[in-house]
Amino acid sequence: MRTYLKCCFMFLSMGWLAVSCQQDTTVTKPVLEKPSLKNSFKKDFLMGAAVNDGHINGTDTSSLKIIEREFNTITPENIMKWMYLHPQPDSFYFDMADKYVALGKKHDMHIVGHTLLWHSQIAPWMDEIKDPVEMAKQIENHINTIAGRYKGKIHTWDVLNEALNEDGSYRTSNFYNVMGESYIELAFRLAAAADPDAKLVYNDYNLWKPEKREGVIRLVKNLQSKGIKIDGIGMQAHYSLVGPEISDIENSIIAYAKLGMEVSMTELDVTALPNPWDLDGAAVKQNYEEYEGDPVMNPYPNGFPDSMQVKMADRYEDLFQLYLKYEKNIDRITFWGVSNGQSWLNGWPIKGRTNYPLFFNRKNKPQVAYERVMQLKEKKSKLEEAGK
């Protein structure tokens, strides 16, 4: 079976397909199927993208075609965050979330829920709660209502987002200040009870950092020691052309896998632009508005030069080399958006820039990085086939 699948995928990735055997024995029609991320990497991991309002509402038909063709998993970029889904204690707005789930179902995709608990993009009323009993009650209502509604429909939940500081200690969010670590246990217990079949993930950025990695290990071990279900670690993977080092990412994948966690790259993008924190210590300003309109920080407003396309492709190739090396431990690779024009990195951390962090350009055509990663996979498949 394995060899048969390998053959199929090689065939697919070479741009051909596949003969569909029809009921009518006299007709065998060849169906030409274009190579795609989801087909080429089918045997390695799920390939996905974060989707926005235009995708969910079906108005952005051009990007939707890419989503349908290339990806087999989706994550909602914003619409399931607390401030949108649960803006008042007694009001839930499920309109967009229902459409999001319907989109995934229509295409038989692995549907991710992002995110049940996060200090950011939370409804302001939640941040005003100072009583631990009241907070636990609200968290319970939030998770039971949402994870309950999508039981069996949302396959993976980012239960908790960004609960750690860079040194691995717990972030002093309002959740933590009011309830201490117990809010983390509560969230995972509730999610597991609301949908026992959903995969439950802890998601955060900079999870390649050794100190933060230790924090994740503590968090996971603490849950495991209490018999609380956690299935995976989501490494957000917001990277740059030069950092982090592949070896740091690798060490984190190894460490998380050792805990029995499935690892996912949940928000992959590679910024093409300089960022304030790349500058020398003293030059780093707290107020990034000061950089708005600064051409040094926005070097490619009219197009991405070929030489930069190559650098971007080199970086993505290195990342995918690593991901393929650990395909047994990696469940899913999700890009944070579909095409460059829609990436949040055009507006963060400095507004009004022109960035090129994804696989598809502003006209939804594949960038050089896409081609390179597809070639990488094709080369690897050929070597495997040849038994090397």
**How many residues sit in the footprint of ligand XIL (CB under 6 A)?**
6
Residue 314 identity (one-letter amino acid)? D
Q: Which residues contact 101 (CB under 8 A, 6 or more apart)?
A: 111, 150, 153, 154
Verify whether residue 267 is a known catalytic residue. yes
The H-or-E segment that residue 34 falls in is: none
Q: Per-residue contact track with ligand XIL, 168 to 197, x per CB under 6 A?
A: ------------------------------
Q: Are the C-beta atoms of residues 385 and 10 closer than 8 Å to each other? A: yes
Distance CA 129, CA 221 (A): 29
Minimal distance, residue 141 CB to ligand XIL, in Å: 22
Of residues 209 and 380, the one with the C-beta less far from ligand XIL:
209
Binder among 329, 344, 364, 384 for ligand XIL (CB under 6 A) = 344
* 241/271 Cα distance (integer angstroms): 7
Told to judge if 134 belongs to the known catalytic residues of this protein, a careful annotator would answer no
Residues 189-203 as b/e (b if ≥16 CB within 10 A, e otherwise) read: bbbbebbeebbbbbb
Residues 88-147 that bind ligand XIL (CB under 6 A): none
Please, which residue, 288 or 344, has the CB nearer to ligand XIL? 344
- Identity of the residue, 12 or 235, whose beta carbon is nearer to ligand XIL in the bound complex: 235
DSSP 144: H
Q: How far is the CB of 118 from ligand XIL (least distance, A)?
A: 7
Query: What x/- string results for residues 296 through 335 when contact with ligand XIL is judged by CB under 6 A?
Result: ----------------------------------------
Residue of 78, 169, 329, 375 that binds ligand XIL (CB under 6 A): 78
77, 162, 262, 378: which is the annotated catalytic residue? 162
Residue of 70, 262, 267, 378 marked catalytic: 267
| Rounded CA separation 102/124 (Å) | 29
Question: Is 359 in contact with 272 (CB distance < 8 Å)?
Answer: no
What three-state secondary structure class fits 66? helix
Question: Contacts with ligand XIL in 207-236 (CB under 6 A)?
Answer: 236
- Residue 281: strand, helix, or coil: helix
Question: Any contact of residue 161 with ligand XIL (CB under 6 A)?
Answer: yes
* Number of residue whose CB is nearest ligand XIL: 344
Of 272, 237, 241, nearest in space to 253 by CA: 237
Residues annotated as part of the active site: 162, 267
Question: Which residues in this chain contact ligand XIL in the complex, by CB under 6 A?
Answer: 77-78, 161, 236, 267, 344
